Structure 1
């Protein structure tokens, strides 16, 4: 149980940094450059995805024995694209559909997708030994 709690804490730290990157890019593109919310949100998500993969696989999840890094990355990207679709759908629904401010919509989406990310990465990417 202590290993799981430590792993969740590491996941949280990596997630906070990735979220800062994600929000920063989204706000820069949406509010700073006036780009559409979906373009801005997707761009932030993709840039933070790259950081998240590198940090998650180094500090949070143990490499699964017998799985190539290429396959690991592909699985990470596929799971993340599903997460992106969930993220975009939630942001669009809350922002355009319900009129919530973009950052509030993004916070809600991030919280929900974070749970999805941890569970799916643990199931599909983690080896026997957690970090």
Structure 2
């Protein structure tokens, strides 16, 4: 039980670092797209930022996860391991993007009062934190099942 708790803590730290990479990259891209277009493209810009952040952070997460959190399966080819990691992460990204879209699209985009009281960056942050919490559980469980040494 102590080993599992320590692993969850390490996973949380790696996840926090990856979230920072994801968030900063996503927010930079979001604001860049918004600057190049207009605020009417906020939903699309949010998704573009989310995908860009994911792409950069998944590579960092892969490296950190196997360095500090999970024990590699000795019989698993590294290419297969990476592909499995990426596929599981892509599923997580799709879930993440869908949840962000729900918050910034139907919830935020469909509510004038929210738009008048909450800025684009704050609603994106709220959506990102919400979706990250859900995807974090998914990532831990699936990586433990499919990638970790038994």
TM-score by length of structure 2 reads 0.82
Equivalents in 2 of 1:48, 1:9: separation in Å?
19
- Give the Cα–Cα distance (whole angstroms) in 1 for the partners of residues 130 and 104 of structure 2: 11
User: What is the match of residue 42 of structure 2?
Assistant: none
Partner of 2:10: 10
1:119 counterpart = 2:128: no
Larger % of helix: which? 2
What displacement does 1:57 show? 1.0
Aligned residue pair count: 128
Task: For residue 58 of structure 1, report the CA deviation from its aligned partner.
Answer: 1.1
Q: Which runs of 5+ in 1 are unaligned?
A: none
Partner of 2:124: 102
For the residues of structure 2 that align with 1:103 and 1:9, how far apart are their CA atoms? 23
CA distance in 2, matches of 1:119, 1:113: 10
What does residue range 1-131 of structure 1 map to in structure 2 within 5 Å? 1-34=1-34, 36-99=45-108, 101-128=123-150
Q: Which runs of 4+ in 1 moved over 3 A?
A: none
Partners of 1:10 and 1:33 lie apart in 2 by 34
Q: Which has the higher contact order (CA 8 A, sep 6+)?
A: 1
1:31, distance to aligned residue in structure 2 (A): 2.0
Q: Secondary structure at the match of 1:98?
A: helix
Once the two structures are superposed, residues 1-20 of structure 1 have per-residue CA deviations (whole angstroms, 9 ceiling, x without a partner) of 00000000000000000000
Give the structure-1-normalised TM-score: 0.94
For the pair shown, the structure with the greater C-alpha radius of gyration is 2
SS at match of 1:67: coil
Q: 1:97, 1:46 → 2: CA distance?
A: 25
